[in-house]
Structure 1
């Protein structure tokens, strides 16, 4: 590989607001495009093989494995540790913190690990060529310092690095598995039938489980010492933490902490970014996410944003922040309501604009977890949960115990929704077996979007009317409505059409559902749909002005506003121009206006302004790709001061 291809710039990204030393910076490597193309090609060849090479306890960057798999196993294990009442059989959870994990990787160990798993010599040489030929230049105050060559480490910013680190972390799995096989380390089981778990890995994030006693703590410490010596890794004792069951004697806890050199008094409050469950998950445990939402919205200058900008920020940022949390826990109703109120207040203080119902979205995300338990029966997560909650039957047929973990309560909540949308697909009786499919997607594969729609229908149409295939039958109609060429503000009104028939003062229409409106819009032309949406949008404005505003807006003024707006929109819409080919500009404008009402022709008599004032007359003539503007400025005596 030519030297210039692997030249890399290092940019220091601060971890805190006001960094004071190098530890508070994160070095990010900026690789050049040519190298990234080469690296990405290698990743695409490597990635499909990882599920057969990397152990099931590692869930990072591996196809068909998710971060929530480790989260569910970890929280079930922690729940089992906390519920254990046997002092002689107490277990503990040991969370590791590796200092600069990527920067300390030993190249010799990485090369031997790749050869050990069976990669050919040529492939390993290609990988090591990418790793060892790098030259760094630090970007300091906008200029690059002198280049230097490292002797160890993986770049953060290289597409290969996350996947190569999996082989380094696999070294820890090998050491711990060897101790388990030798009988020197006891695995944790969440129940008698459950598979044993000695560790869980997510990239450089490690969580170990073992019996809380002097002997096994010593075995774990020796295994970690061996791992550090071979791979170049280094533990940060000040950041490692230990969780021990309530029944474990205090003397034993102190001995274990002393051997493992644990300095923190309490267990880490979060695991992989989620609050560690401890007892009942009340609303206070989710307060940090609520505060994060509030902080994010407070940082935006909401008074200087258009409604379109707020709409984008809410849907792409605000509603995405709690998604990870809601995919694991069933949030309390008060927490969901707090999220909804913050979004509502940021927008305008009211709802009804198509933003997600957070309670229903929470249930749809949890339904995805239940779906994964059906779709991936051979994963470690399913083995653990099945052994504890439905050992002798399928998930959809099981009756669950009353005493369950907080995460399983969430899965049960999602399963209630999932069951309403599952159907059996019947095979041919020879090769194709019967299987469960999702009724609300043509592919039969579950999606959160369709699940949320089903939850919405179940809430507002509990009698089931129109809920079986409404999503499919209405999709084409909604697609045409969404594609109607209107400005951003009326576009936001399209979302309100879904909710307009269920408003308290529209009870007569609620029994009919949206069919009357959707069917009518489907029969209109594109121009007529645009005009209809504009009229609805202005009617909504008049309603809000009467209820919440000054009430000074009039129907006559709104009619004039819509006519002027329509005149300005028609020339800029390519779709409209296609329909108006062959007409003159004046004919096109007049025929379009007739869609709303006949325009009254007023004689163009110029009137002079008051003494000391000037009048500016402007006219615009649109064309297919260009337009012309004429301006005349005259004083009170009618004299022309300026023309353009």
Structure 2
């Protein structure tokens, strides 16, 4: 007798019902006990139980929203209910196969295990957050101040201690992720954003009150601790990471302080710390550590080296507050700022959150919270103490760092937050010095080393006797080839395949947990793009993954997308290469793992070629490129590191070994192209393209530009497209694809259309191409072969569905077209088949819903399931179409509500306004600007013609014309308006990546702006920039360029609310 018990916790969702049915089908229980049911679900459960032949049921209704029990059994079981209540069912039963009676008790209630678990976590965290120093009397070290010189000036202190303005508070509030987990008050950031007009004033007052009085309500800083398992099958308290859930208002306060602290960290945090600072990243740490570990692996001679991977146990939770504040003061932060920080970390209180229920309440006396925006920056300040102690030992020659080449600097340690690696000589003296440094740090800070996780790796030439002595002295274990550092191999593994095989396990585990049967292919598409393909990116950023691993990952995603049957077989009617084609070329936009891996690693090659200001770049240059050019390296040497071999392989994507400088094509000491040289080297079309490129007037130093991206900055996306571009066929770029993906229909229907256009439906005719199928006739009419065209359009069953619609659509009129042509006709908004766009949109949805219904009906017929009647099917099609239309109308109302109409505004008295625009076609730009005064009267108009590479460059050229005119005529008070957002953003934010074709023009505009600081630039809507737009179009049609006679301009140009009165004072 098979018994199944399940805490279903409600069966309200269709996915849960399907999972329940699958569970019953796989297990086929004789007796089933369910708990935590809802009253409204009884009908659904009865239906599921009957389908599983559990014909006898006994229900105990829930009390309110809690409880609810069900006991179900098959007909061959004789069962009698003895007693029951809202927590248990007590019964005696006898089976036909075994006449001996059995006593059955089904119980649903909280067990003593839960109480023990809560008590265990409660005691552990209370002890963890309790300071080691009695009565909080912290013994400050005498030589602490000598380690931390003051670097923060009085003026900087005044700035960081200013009271935040309402705009500062609002900016911080709206920079938070909307759906972050809420704190104890239950309100996530999206609540405050949505109702800022109501809550804004109170929030601003609460935040400013803290910065003025250093006080806030105690409940505001109460925190829930949620436990995240670090490993699979976590069974000890140490296996969980405590993440703090803070209230949003407290997070605003914390983030304001964090931003002010972060702005000064690079002044005193050692370059060995790679975390949380601008210009430093986890990749710096992994690259440098990999190169040093490779150096140890290849080390020969009599100098022995070692690397110690240190694990600090619960590092964030052991931070002693008085020492942290003292370190901040040593760096020069004033009392006001340190008091704010101390108030934030010391006024907190905790409750534990386990299985959705909070319990306990305690106040910590040390530790900083993971989840508090301020904590990461406070910790790297705290960890700087250990970094300074190690650097002092290195200066005193007690520890000696490792140099991987003659010209590279010695590296004694690397930090990434609390992950530490120490590099030194493999000697007893260096081991003693390391132990002294760690002991000193532990005595001062209460931090402890986890000796179970701390390992030592020795250079390959170190004798075993010396290894054993050092390991015994330190009390650590020796590193094995499976050891990881920051998720990547620490020691050099035996093979690459072995090193990265865990990626396959992770992806398999992730995909198996998603239950592809419960997801549509549109849902699977989203999960693959957002999660599955993101899983290996961290590893692929630094190394080329073996092809076997890449193929296996692609295979897993392919099987997940197509779905598998009970025998784990799949029917993939399109290859993975087709699915990985861009959407515009007929694919789904997935990424091939191998190609994307190459694009990611090529970014490292780009940084080396461009001499980027990263520590790892200088380190690799000192080791591999001493007095060499990166592009002269054709092949890595056999004994080079994995990383360097991968970078050299990826160099082929950006190989410019046969290049010349652009200045060789220019007239000497001039900003003009040398036409004679251009015509000697290039063909006529290429010369025309070069002439469109503006020359930088500032003659900046030589630099590389990544031409596949507009900004000239290397982008992984453009690198990936460059890799796959040779494999794309021009005929694939059919307008149909763009129409499909831009259509206002459900994503599931977009996938449906894609499969139709790609002949990817498993119709009988399609399957006959791959399998020996004798009968390919349609299951509805049995007259013709079951093709896509016949099944969805020409079959009498399909024709009947369309003719019974309100359009009375006759499919026979289009029977001469194939299905691809039909889809193009359907999605093309320019055709005149429909009366209006609304009718066309409704008919498209109707077709998709009808085809979906036909396909479901066909499957029911084919697999022997009960098919719906035609009348029911027609009603379902019309009701579902109405649902889709209603959802679309709701979205369109929301979109229209945000549209604002505006008109051109006159400048204030004493100011002039310049409006510029450009007409661009086939590389020719026709620019124009108009100048008007505070009365709206037309002062001046100008048109020009030039060659440009793109629209942005054309718009920038037109704006530059107006700026040059204003500079020539000394117009001090001027407003410049353009309807091109990109150009205005380039001007207003100098650090923004600029379109490389527009950069010389934008830089020249900035130069004039620096000369006239009262000028203002603004982006406006197209409808308020009509005069400039119309003038540019008119100039293009008439070929009239230069200053214009205002009296000859057509009045129709001015239609934006300005006044066409002429005042030609600059004529």
**Cα deviation digits, residues 383-408 of structure 1 (max 9, x gap):** 21110111224433445651310111
Structure 1 position 534, deviation (Å):
8.1
Name 2:499's counterpart in structure 1: 285
SS in 1 for 2:501: helix
**Equivalent position to 1:368, from 583, 603, 611:** 603
**Equivalent position to 1:412, from 628, 634, 648:** 648
Tell me, in whole angstroms, the C-alpha distance in 1 between the residues paired with 2:716 and 2:391: 37
SS in 1 for 2:722: helix
The structure-2 alpha-carbon separation of the partners of 1:556 and 1:266, relative to structure 1 and needing over 3 Å to count, comes to closer
The structure-2 alpha-carbon separation of the partners of 1:146 and 1:289, relative to structure 1 and needing over 3 Å to count, comes to closer
**Cα deviation digits, residues 36-84 of structure 1 (max 9, x gap):** 1111222233334333332211111112222111111101001111111
SS in 1 for 2:244: strand
The structure-2 alpha-carbon separation of the partners of 1:149 and 1:416, relative to structure 1 and needing over 3 Å to count, comes to same
Residue pair 1:389, 1:401 contacting (<8 A) in 2 also: no
**Equivalent position to 2:592, from 349, 353, 357:** 357
Residue pair 2:636, 2:644 contacting (<8 A) in 1 also: no
Structure 1 position 281, deviation (Å):
3.5
SS in 2 for 1:435: coil
For the pair 1:71 / 2:292, whether they are aligned, the reply is no
Tell me, in whole angstroms, the C-alpha distance in 1 between the residues paired with 2:735 and 2:661: 26
Name 2:340's counterpart in structure 1: 126
Structure 1 position 232, deviation (Å):
1.8
Tell me, in whole angstroms, the C-alpha distance in 2 between the residues paired with 1:591 and 1:379: 54
Residue pair 1:353, 1:492 contacting (<8 A) in 2 also: no
Name 2:744's counterpart in structure 1: 485
The structure-2 alpha-carbon separation of the partners of 1:279 and 1:310, relative to structure 1 and needing over 3 Å to count, comes to closer
Residue pair 1:269, 1:276 contacting (<8 A) in 2 also: yes
Structure 1 position 224, deviation (Å):
0.8
Tell me, in whole angstroms, the C-alpha distance in 1 between the residues paired with 2:422 and 2:715: 34
Name 1:547's counterpart in structure 2: 769
Tell me, in whole angstroms, the C-alpha distance in 1 between the residues paired with 2:619 and 2:253: 39
Larger Rg computed on CA atoms = 2
Residue pair 1:330, 1:409 contacting (<8 A) in 2 also: no
Name 2:1030's counterpart in structure 1: none
Residue pair 1:195, 1:383 contacting (<8 A) in 2 also: no
Name 1:41's counterpart in structure 2: 256
The structure-2 alpha-carbon separation of the partners of 1:257 and 1:586, relative to structure 1 and needing over 3 Å to count, comes to closer
SS in 2 for 1:97: strand
Tell me, in whole angstroms, the C-alpha distance in 2 between the residues paired with 1:371 and 1:440: 13
Alignment of 1:561-576 (within 5 A): none
**Cα deviation digits, residues 347-385 of structure 1 (max 9, x gap):** 234422122222111100101122233556332211211
**Equivalent position to 2:361, from 147, 158, 169:** 147
Q: RCO higher in 1 or 2 (8 Å CA, sep ≥ 6)?
A: 1
Residue pair 1:425, 1:437 contacting (<8 A) in 2 also: no
SS in 1 for 2:439: helix
Q: TM-score, normalised by structure 2?
A: 0.48
The structure-2 alpha-carbon separation of the partners of 1:267 and 1:236, relative to structure 1 and needing over 3 Å to count, comes to farther
**Equivalent position to 1:558, from 789, 792, 796:** 792
For the pair 1:434 / 2:434, whether they are aligned, the reply is no
The structure-2 alpha-carbon separation of the partners of 1:85 and 1:304, relative to structure 1 and needing over 3 Å to count, comes to same
**Cα deviation digits, residues 539-594 of structure 1 (max 9, x gap):** 76657444357645233222158886899999xx9997999997699899889999
Residue pair 1:390, 1:400 contacting (<8 A) in 2 also: no
SS in 2 for 1:436: coil
Tell me, in whole angstroms, the C-alpha distance in 2 between the residues paired with 1:305 and 1:273: 31
Residue pair 1:281, 1:406 contacting (<8 A) in 2 also: no
Tell me, in whole angstroms, the C-alpha distance in 2 between the residues paired with 1:267 and 1:237: 18
Tell me, in whole angstroms, the C-alpha distance in 2 between the residues paired with 1:178 and 1:569: 85
Tell me, in whole angstroms, the C-alpha distance in 1 between the residues paired with 2:505 and 2:591: 19
Tell me, in whole angstroms, the C-alpha distance in 2 between the residues paired with 1:584 and 1:72: 56
Alignment of 1:46-57 (within 5 A): 46-57=261-272
Name 2:312's counterpart in structure 1: 98
Unpaired runs of at least 5, structure 2: 1-214, 563-571, 581-589, 664-694, 778-785, 808-825, 848-867, 888-1067
Residue pair 2:311, 2:419 contacting (<8 A) in 1 also: yes
SS in 1 for 2:535: coil
Tell me, in whole angstroms, the C-alpha distance in 1 between the residues paired with 2:373 and 2:660: 40
**Cα deviation digits, residues 224-244 of structure 1 (max 9, x gap):** 111112222100112110000
Tell me, in whole angstroms, the C-alpha distance in 1 between the residues paired with 2:365 and 2:660: 57
Tell me, in whole angstroms, the C-alpha distance in 1 between the residues paired with 2:537 and 2:838: 50
Structure 1 position 111, deviation (Å):
1.0
Q: Aligned Cα RMSD in Å? A: 4.0
Alignment of 1:328-343 (within 5 A): 328-343=542-557
The structure-2 alpha-carbon separation of the partners of 1:583 and 1:82, relative to structure 1 and needing over 3 Å to count, comes to closer
Residue pair 1:239, 1:264 contacting (<8 A) in 2 also: no
Residue pair 2:220, 2:250 contacting (<8 A) in 1 also: yes
SS in 1 for 2:314: coil
Residue pair 2:493, 2:499 contacting (<8 A) in 1 also: no
Tell me, in whole angstroms, the C-alpha distance in 2 between the residues paired with 1:223 and 1:569: 84
The structure-2 alpha-carbon separation of the partners of 1:34 and 1:568, relative to structure 1 and needing over 3 Å to count, comes to farther
The structure-2 alpha-carbon separation of the partners of 1:32 and 1:587, relative to structure 1 and needing over 3 Å to count, comes to closer
The structure-2 alpha-carbon separation of the partners of 1:487 and 1:184, relative to structure 1 and needing over 3 Å to count, comes to same
Structure 1 position 444, deviation (Å):
0.7
Q: TM-score, normalised by structure 1?
A: 0.77
**Equivalent position to 1:270, from 484, 488, 491:** 484
Q: Which moved more, 1:298-307 or 1:615-624?
A: 615-624
Tell me, in whole angstroms, the C-alpha distance in 1 between the residues paired with 2:264 and 2:605: 26
Tell me, in whole angstroms, the C-alpha distance in 2 between the residues paired with 1:54 and 1:475: 55
**Equivalent position to 2:414, from 200, 213, 218:** 200
Tell me, in whole angstroms, the C-alpha distance in 1 between the residues paired with 2:551 and 2:357: 50
The structure-2 alpha-carbon separation of the partners of 1:221 and 1:568, relative to structure 1 and needing over 3 Å to count, comes to farther
**Equivalent position to 2:624, from 372, 375, 389:** 389
Structure 1 position 289, deviation (Å):
1.2
The structure-2 alpha-carbon separation of the partners of 1:334 and 1:460, relative to structure 1 and needing over 3 Å to count, comes to farther
SS in 1 for 2:414: strand
Residue pair 1:93, 1:210 contacting (<8 A) in 2 also: yes
Alignment of 1:171-190 (within 5 A): 171-190=385-404
Structure 1 position 477, deviation (Å):
10
- Number of corresponding residues: 560
SS in 1 for 2:313: coil
SS in 1 for 2:708: coil
**Cα deviation digits, residues 88-145 of structure 1 (max 9, x gap):** x111000001111000011122112222233233222222221111111233565544
For the pair 1:452 / 2:452, whether they are aligned, the reply is no
SS in 1 for 2:242: strand
Structure 1 position 284, deviation (Å):
2.2
Tell me, in whole angstroms, the C-alpha distance in 1 between the residues paired with 2:612 and 2:758: 50
Residue pair 1:424, 1:435 contacting (<8 A) in 2 also: no
SS in 1 for 2:415: strand
SS in 2 for 1:147: strand
Residue pair 2:606, 2:654 contacting (<8 A) in 1 also: yes
Tell me, in whole angstroms, the C-alpha distance in 2 between the residues paired with 1:455 and 1:99: 45
SS in 1 for 2:477: coil
SS in 2 for 1:61: coil
SS in 2 for 1:209: strand
Tell me, in whole angstroms, the C-alpha distance in 1 between the residues paired with 2:738 and 2:840: 30
